[in-house]
Structure 1
Amino acid sequence: MKLTPPEQPTKKLDQQFSFIITLLKGVGQIMLQESVFTGLLFLAGIFYGSLSMGFAALLAVFIGTITAKILGFNKTETAQGIYGFSPALVGVALLFYFESNLIVWLSVIVGSVLAAIVQHGFSVKKIPVFTFPFIVVTWGLIYVLRNSFGVPAAEFLNSTAVLTPDFAFALRGFGQVIFQGSTFAGAAFFIGVFVCSPIRALYGLAAALIAGILAGLYNAPADGIMQGLFSYNAVLCAIVFAGNKAIDGVWTFIAVALSLVVSFVMNAYNFTPLTFPFVVGTWIVLVLQKSTKGFFLDGKPAINE
């Protein structure tokens, strides 16, 4: 009689750890970092600011990743956390804008599924979509929750933070990428990017400073600048275009400037910007890069001899 050997416990453990690693990478991918340590630091910053947002991020990245597995999305992309970051942002956003209740948590689940599916649609077509799935899904859910269900806004949205003018607003710019306004969260997010890519972290910090200064020159509200609300899109732009060539700095500055313009326009019309200014600025610069390809070589104009 031939006995079937029992499944090895180590194999189950490996699968469980592999799934946890995927979830953490999904959180890290919010700032384009495929790193477990980055994901852990991001979660630490979110939980520091709000337990409900932290649990929403965990639930959302779990749902998004499970959706990718069930629907058979690309296994490599799934393992890299590609289908976790937009859902995670949706989860945090909904608990940022609305009071915690059953309908909001159900919306986190539905939004996470939709964000993963939209992400996959763009991924199949090889379109660099960045956080756009999070944006469209969150806009839709905000509209429905406000107008169809009348869900109350989160209490802290009506509170006003008094901040001393300082350069810590650049760190808060990192924090505001995931709806966190504390300097601690911003520092945690900065370190999270730095451990994975120092140059991207430093580019992000410089871009956050520049964006805040430019916003001040155009008479943006001082409290908004100090909270990092005019810097977080700049952080994401810098992370995308950071590099060790001079031209990388030029592309970064153009993307940052474009994202600021879009932010100003959206704020003027009382439209929730989320990370849309970053996406628009980045898409325009990518088009510019493609159209000028061959003109720039190693950061210098390419001259035909």
Structure 2
Amino acid sequence: MASPSVTPEAAPAPTGLKRFGLGSLRGVGQVDFQPSVWTSLLILAALWVESWEMGLFATIGAVVSTLTAQFLNVHHDTVTQGLMSYCGVLGAIAIVVYLGNHPSSYVLAVVAAVMCTLVTATLGRLLAPFGLKAFTGPFCFVALVMVLGAPSFERVWHGTPATAITPAVPKSPVVSWTDLWQGFFANFSQIFFAGTWYVGLIMLVGLFLAGWKVGIFAVIGSVVGLLTAWALGAPAALIGEGIYGYNAVLTSLAFGVVLLRSTPWNHLYTVVAAAASTGLTASLSVLFKVFGSHTFTWPFNITTWALLAAVPLLPRITLIADDKS
């Protein structure tokens, strides 16, 4: 997901309907930084496989965010590439996962999608002078506010749904082969709050459709997340559910595909970043649990912002953006 603050290249403007359709669909793939229509279709299909609720709310988030961007006359390339709708996709899914499927949830999903679009523009603008991008930060901010505030409103809060509860799991760090292979695939699906391994497999196929490099760095992120969590002694059951690896996948895609040039030093930096996001996942999980919130993709955002901000002082680490300047 690129920053919407970047000035798009001149191109023939697609018609309003085509812009809306492409922007809505690509918003799904842009969660993983990919504007590929085929990647987006496979990821969306995987969400419907996980459950009709997740598929529907993802669709609502994509559609509402795109409509909001079009209504506010955001540049057509930014809309068409899905750069204003990817956070809305996550925001709407978070509503059904953490607040449940109730009539009020559909209203909240629309509100979340609209707010994610606005905050995407705000955060992109604020971070641009520092050479940083919004990533999934807008979604994290909006979801944090809505999920924390929901219990205060009787017409919104219906108790914590089963989808939002991590069941009590054995604390044993002894990882089985099943934990490893299921966790490897679940690391991809947990980006969208889905913990089913075969849903992650479908998403991984979609990432490879975007290009072999995309698929390889997604795999690297998942493996680094698994190995780091295992090395630190994380509960095996949570490793198997993808809880400790999804931020590593996003971080690996960000540095390996979007941000850095393809050099050995940059590849090593990508691995370090992916491992760091895994460790931070545990820390933030403990922190957010204290006041009833959830980790979301905060570990990915914080790790990427911190290590991206350090790049200007690290001559061996080079940005793709430098090639365009």
TM-score w.r.t. the length of structure 1 is 0.87
C-alpha distance in 2 between matches for 1:81 and 1:193: 16
State the match for 1:187 in structure 2.
Answer: 201
Which of 296, 301, 309 aligns to 1:279? It is 301
Q: Does 1:153 align with 2:160?
A: yes
C-alpha distance in 1 between matches for 2:254 and 2:69: 24
Distance 1:148 1:175, change over 3 A: same
State the match for 1:9 in structure 2.
Answer: none
C-alpha distance in 1 between matches for 2:73 and 2:22: 19
Q: Does 1:251 align with 2:269?
A: yes
Describe the SS at the equivalent of 1:242.
Answer: helix
**CA offsets 1:230-274 (integer angstroms, 9 cap, x no match):** 000000001011153212221212211221232111122325110
Checking the alignment, whether the CA contact within 8 Å between 1:87 and 1:134 is kept in structure 2 is: yes
**CA offsets 1:208-250 (integer angstroms, 9 cap, x no match):** 1221221122221111100111000000001011153212221
* Aligned-residue offset at 1:207: 1.8
* Aligned-residue offset at 1:156: 3.9
Which of 197, 202, 205 aligns to 2:216? It is 202
Question: Percent identity between the aligned chains?
Answer: 24
Unaligned ranges ≥5, structure 1: 1-12, 299-305
Unaligned ranges ≥5, structure 2: 1-13, 170-175, 320-325
Distance 1:211 1:166, change over 3 A: closer
* Aligned-residue offset at 1:289: 1.4
Q: What amino acid maps onto 2:305 in structure 1?
A: W
TM-score w.r.t. the length of structure 2 is 0.82
Q: Which has the larger radius of gyration?
A: 1
Q: Kindly tell me the number of residue pairs found equivalent between the two proteins.
A: 285
* Aligned-residue offset at 1:71: 1.1
RMSD between aligned residues: 2.2
* Aligned-residue offset at 1:102: 1.7
Distance 1:177 1:297, change over 3 A: closer
State the match for 1:235 in structure 2.
Answer: 249
Alignment of 1:204-219 (within 5 A): 204-219=218-233
Q: What amino acid maps onto 1:254 in structure 2?
A: V
Distance 1:30 1:82, change over 3 A: same
Describe the SS at the equivalent of 1:199.
Answer: helix
Distance 1:208 1:98, change over 3 A: same
Checking the alignment, whether the CA contact within 8 Å between 2:65 and 2:84 is kept in structure 1 is: yes
* Aligned-residue offset at 1:290: 1.9
